[in-house]
Amino acid sequence: MTEQTKRYCIRNFGNDRQFDSVEETLQGLHEHYRGVSVAIHARTKTGLLRCLFVDVSGNCELYESYAREGCRRVSEDALVQACE
């Protein structure tokens, strides 16, 4: 596992990529992780890491991997909030 040096990191069994912004992260998800479940690690302003587990659909929609009530879509706002 590589050290996270950027604000966002998509992790997928060694196929990891790091990004500085939500926009870059979303683009990386769309380009490299369609149809895959990944963990998104987001570094907060205080330095803590938050982890979101998401499934990336074939049409690039994000859903919580472990939602309690069926499929819950993950919005861009959820990624922004993860870093607050």
44/82 Cα distance (integer angstroms): 7
Scan for tokens 């929609």, then name that residue: 61
The predicted pLDDT at position 60 comes to 82
Measured CA to CA, the distance from residue 8 to residue 44 in angstroms comes to: 10
As a whole number of angstroms, the distance between CA 2 and CA 45 comes to 20
Give the 3-state secondary structure of residue 15.
coil
The tokens describing 67, both together, are 């939602």
Give the three-state DSSP class for 84. Answer: coil
pTM comes to 0.86
For the chain (length 84 residues), average pLDDT per consecutive 10? 84 94 93 95 89 91 84 83 74
Show the tokens assigned to 58.
Answer: 């074939």
Confidence at residue 1, expressed as pLDDT on a 0 to 100 scale: 59
